[in-house]
A and B are shown apart, each in its own frame.
Chain A
């Protein structure tokens, strides 16, 4: 079933992606899904539905058992260099200073030290951590650590930002602040990122942030539904009737 590649406005396409655990147990798929240019796409679903696995396949850190990931029309083989990842556990390198953590992806891309530093400082500034360049991760609060994780991902200037439960380890207020920051940065001309793929178990979070929500269900992980939220005006406050109604509708979908 070859699909005509490079449909306009498609950043990344999953074709028949399946993931097995061992030889026999299928945990995911087959999944067909497009990530479109300029959209904020969320994957929601209960634990075990394979949403984090799917995100890792998109980022190219996990090779699917079968199926293809197409980026810019080409089949992905290895790490998706047009994507970057933000993790629930932040996954910072404790022995590197903030500026080194943010610059380490640029180093891997062969940027000379001076440009690396300049770019790292730019993104540290964008997430509001100026002054903390020389700090070590252990000296920072959880929220600040995730800001470093965000800056580190943005610094490699990815077209696609992949976020795996990025706000789940944060307190409610910090999570809200960083959520707003992500949306602001995404809209900002300073940031190159075109699309964002968010994995979350929080329907409220998905509704507050996304243009489109894909609902996954388990055994094996498959796409159960898709909700278009382009029509829902931003910014979306949780107490607005339209937002609440959408959240309720999505809970019904997941039930």
Chain B
């Protein structure tokens, strides 16, 4: 019953939406911002990519340390869980302080995005680390695999599927974060940096130009889907095929 309603409603709303969009774009000449969207996308893309890369590079050694020192793990995990539960907006003041101290807004945007992105990567890597079977750890120890060699031969391969899952999730969250991070209002000042998030924010809050909102949203969604399909999916398939633990 509900399914039937949905089956009717969904195509109807798609058709209606498409029609409205069509009207939005033919009823008047294109807004000047539309021409800048490709560059906006590229800049935001670079920020999200840097965020994913930084998350991965930091999460692996951190997870390694947490996995090694069972005593410190309890405390560290509690701290991390508290930090992870703080919404990105709560970090605004901190970022603003850093900005007034002269940090570039580019770095500020990435840093703020990291406060939401990083945890996805860390928790997925930690989860994967806990799947290393006890006998495999013992085998590694008996064979003399220790320290960096254990890291390279056992730990990193074992957490690789989790790392990719975390990166995909962080990648999605990063785009979401861009809308928040590229355009900050604090006090009476506006801190902004060029990017698709800033363009979307300005169109939403300042100009109210629906054409720009629709175009920037649609182009962002398209880019995310394309990268997921053409980059993350193939990588995940290959990594899972080789690095997943056997049942």
Please list the residues of chain A having a beta carbon within 8 angstroms of any beta carbon in chain B. 56, 59-61, 79, 81, 83-85, 87-89, 91-96, 104-105, 107-109, 136-138, 152, 156
Contact = CB atoms under 8 A, between A and B. Distances in A.
Interface in B135-156: 135-136, 138-139, 141-146, 149, 153-154
A156 B140 CA distance: 13
Interface stretch (B97-105, B122-130, B220-228, B238-246): B238-246
A50 to B, nearest CB: 16
Contacts of B142: 59-61, 79, 83-85
Contacts, number: 63
A104 B145 contact: yes
A85 B138 contact: yes
A156 B149 CA distance: 17
A91 B133 contact: yes
A137 B157 CA distance: 15
A88 B135 contact: yes
29 contacts: A61-B138, A81-B144, A83-B142, A84-B143, A85-B138, A85-B139, A87-B138, A88-B135, A89-B133, A91-B133, A91-B135, A91-B138, A91-B139, A93-B136, A93-B157, A94-B242, A94-B243, A95-B242, A95-B243, A96-B153, A105-B145, A107-B149, A107-B153, A108-B144, A108-B145, A108-B149, A136-B242, A152-B143, A156-B143
B245 A94 contact: yes
B201 to A, nearest CB: 44
Contacts of B153: 93, 96, 104, 107
B135 A87 contact: yes
Contact of B154 (A81, A89, A93): A93
Contacts of A95: 157-158, 160, 242-243
Nearest to A90: B135
Contacts of A91: 133, 135-136, 138-139
Determine the main DSSP class of B at the interface with A.
helix
Contacts of B144: 79, 81, 105, 108-109, 156
Nearest to B153: A104
A92 B135 CA distance: 9
A108 B142 CA distance: 10
A84 B138 CA distance: 11
Interface string B80-104: 0000000000000000000000000
Contact of B139 (A83, A87, A94, A136): A87
A156 B245 CA distance: 25
A56 B145 CA distance: 16
A88 B157 CA distance: 22
A131 to B, nearest CB: 21
A136 B146 CA distance: 23
Nearest to A156: B143
Given A104-B143, A105-B144, A156-B143, A56 B138 contact: yes
Nearest to A152: B143
A175 B136 CA distance: 21
Contacts of A88: 135
A108 B135 contact: no
With a 10 A CB-CB cut-off, give which of B142, B153, B157 has the most chain A CB atoms.
B142
A94 B161 CA distance: 13
Contact of B146 (A56, A93, A94, A108): A108
Contacts of B141: 61, 79
Interface in B194-247: 242-246
Nearest to B146: A108
Nearest to B244: A94
Contacts of A104: 143, 145, 153
Nearest to A80: B142
B68 to A, nearest CB: 16
A121 to B, nearest CB: 18
A104 B154 CA distance: 11
B246 A94 contact: yes
Contacts of B135: 87-89, 91
A156 B242 CA distance: 26
B143 A105 contact: yes
A108 B246 CA distance: 24
A197 to B, nearest CB: 13
